[in-house]
Amino acid sequence: MHYRCNSAARDNLSHRFPYFVSEAVDVRMVAVYNPSCTVVFTLATMAEDVEVLAEEVSEEYKRNLVETVEDLRRSNAALQAETKMFELFIRRQEAKDGSSLSDGPGGAFQLDMGMCCGRKARLAQEKHRLTMEQKCDVAEREYDAVRADLQTLRHSSERLLHSHKATLEEAEIRLMEVKKASYEFDRDVAKVVREKNGIVMDAEKVVRYMMDRMKAKEALIEKLRLKKGALRVQKRKLEMQLRQKEEVGEARHHVDFQQLKIKNTQYLQKIGTLNQDLLRLKLLAGSTQQILHSHKSKLQQLIRESKSLSNEISSRDDILAKMDQETLQAEHECAEAEAVNTQLRRQLESFSVPPLLDYIKAKSVHGELEQTLHSWERKVDIAEMTLRNHTKALEKLTLRPDAVTPPY
């Protein structure tokens, strides 16, 4: 990049610096050379020149000088960026080749850092400038290197991101497994302890539950091991197919891999949905199993109640049979007593006044017979009352809607 100064600024600079008289000033060079010294244009010296010549120059010259300073500042910034790019390029080449800088098979320049001191002195005295083609070549190489670094950084970042995502998914799966195991333990073991207050947890039941869990984990490990082997075989097959396609020139492009990533994401979403459905069904099966267990408990309780009612009905039937037998016996005794009474009444009708002693004896026997008759009548009343009570109880048991028919 070349910038021109106006005539007034050039005359002033020519008066102060005799060797700075070129019509076209190459502002890319920071230093202006003469046979005896090197004058470095810096912002500080330019500022001092402006202060010294402030009273002698015109406003137009000041504006031109400020523009020149700004142009030099921009040029210096560009040169600094270019120098930084060259330094990075040299460092990359030194890292690759050791100490040599080369532009490749079609190279246009070469800078040897391991030359002798005389060669370095000659290079310091001579002015070597890169052509525009060489600069473009260096910039292109640096651009390719930076792009390769960015691509490598992108790949490493993607791998790290996938690793973190896999870690999060694994943590979520493990959390779900822990919640499921806690729910199953609470359902199968701990709930029984809460329902039965004061009862110590059965150690055998806990050990049996733990053994079942260990067996299930071992089965899952074996299943995952087989699945891992199958996936490894499938991976080898896919790698072989990919190598074959690369050999025949049918390697997949970036778009194909993007499509495969999209399909993989969709399949992972489907698998996640199916896993959630499976977990929901397992929870539903657990609640159903719990309801079934409660119904089984109620059924066992009803069976026990039915057995107790059957035993009670059998005992009541035995008591009723005994009461029937006692009633028949009492009726038989009552009939005998009535027969005796009838006979006695007949004898009384044909009775003639006996002697006094016989009357007293007969009176005594009659009193005893009346007491016996009264006792038997009392027994008959008690037996009838008991029979009525048992008959009512039997009718109540028979007429109950939830009564269970005794097994005869």
The region of weakest confidence among 67-71, 179-183, 218-222, 375-379 is 179-183
Q: How long a stretch of residues is the chain?
A: 408
pLDDT digits (tens, 9 = 90+) for 126-137: 456 778 888 888
CA-to-CA distance for 355 and 333, rounded, in angstroms?
Answer: 32
Q: Is the pLDDT of residue 113 over 50?
A: no
* Domain end marker among 78, 103, 128: 103
- Let me know if residue 289 belongs to a domain: no
Give the pLDDT score at 31: 38
Residue 287 token pair = 């609640």
Q: Is the pLDDT of residue 401 over 90?
A: no
Q: Is the pLDDT of residue 395 over 80?
A: yes
Q: Hey, what amino acid is at 327?
A: T
- Let me know if residue 71 belongs to a domain: yes
- Let me know if residue 163 belongs to a domain: no
pLDDT digits (tens, 9 = 90+) for 153-172: 998 998 899 899 989 998 99
33 has which bridge partners?
Answer: 38
CA-to-CA distance for 45 and 395, rounded, in angstroms?
Answer: 130
Q: Is the pLDDT of residue 230 over 50?
A: yes
- Let me know if residue 224 belongs to a domain: no
Of residues 30 and 229, which shows the higher confidence score?
229
DSSP string, 90-121: HHHHHHHHSSEEE--TT-S-EEETT--HHHHH
Q: Is the pLDDT of residue 101 over 70?
A: no
* Domain end marker among 103, 130, 164: 103
- Let me know if residue 295 belongs to a domain: no
Find the distance separating the first CA and the last CA of the chain, reported in whole Å.
121
Reported as a pLDDT band with limits 50, 70 and 90, residue 353 is low
The region of weakest confidence among 181-185, 303-307, 350-354 is 350-354
Domain span at residue 61 reads 2-103
Domains identified in the chain, total number: 2
With CA atoms as reference, report the closest residue to 134 among 99, 93, 97, 104: 104
Residue 184 token pair = 């199953």
Of residues 52 and 24, which shows the higher confidence score?
52
Q: Is the pLDDT of residue 37 over 50?
A: no
> Residue 113: what are its φ and ψ, rounded to 5°?
-85, -10
Give the pLDDT score at 25: 39
Give the pLDDT score at 54: 53
Q: Is the pLDDT of residue 245 over 90?
A: no
CA-to-CA distance for 116 and 119, rounded, in angstroms?
Answer: 5
* Domain end marker among 44, 70, 103: 103
Residue 136 token pair = 């473009």
In Å, how far from its chain's centre is CA 58?
78
> Residue 100: what are its φ and ψ, rounded to 5°?
-115, 150
Reported as a pLDDT band with limits 50, 70 and 90, residue 216 is confident
| Range of 34-43, 197-206, 265-274, 392-401 with top mean pLDDT | 265-274
Reported as a pLDDT band with limits 50, 70 and 90, residue 251 is low
Reported as a pLDDT band with limits 50, 70 and 90, residue 201 is low
Question: What per-residue string of b and e applies to 379-390 under the rule 16 or more CB within 10 Å gives b?
Answer: ebeebeeeeeeb
Give the pLDDT score at 354: 63
Reported as a pLDDT band with limits 50, 70 and 90, residue 36 is very low
Give the pLDDT score at 247: 73
CA-to-CA distance for 170 and 168, rounded, in angstroms?
Answer: 5
Q: Is the pLDDT of residue 104 over 70?
A: no
pLDDT digits (tens, 9 = 90+) for 306-343: 999 999 999 999 999 999 999 999 999 999 999 999 98
Q: Is the pLDDT of residue 9 over 50?
A: no
Give the pLDDT score at 21: 38
Q: Is the pLDDT of residue 114 over 50?
A: no
Arithmetic mean of pLDDT, 232-241: 90
Percentage of the chain with pLDDT > 70? 70
CA-to-CA distance for 319 and 313, rounded, in angstroms?
Answer: 10
Give the pLDDT score at 225: 92
- Let me know if residue 182 belongs to a domain: no
- Let me know if residue 172 belongs to a domain: no
CA-to-CA distance for 78 and 59, rounded, in angstroms?
Answer: 29
CA-to-CA distance for 19 and 41, rounded, in angstroms?
Answer: 13
- Let me know if residue 223 belongs to a domain: no
Q: Identify the residue whose tokens are 């003469």.
A: 34
With CA atoms as reference, report the closest residue to 386 among 324, 314, 293, 298: 324
Q: Is the pLDDT of residue 103 over 90?
A: no
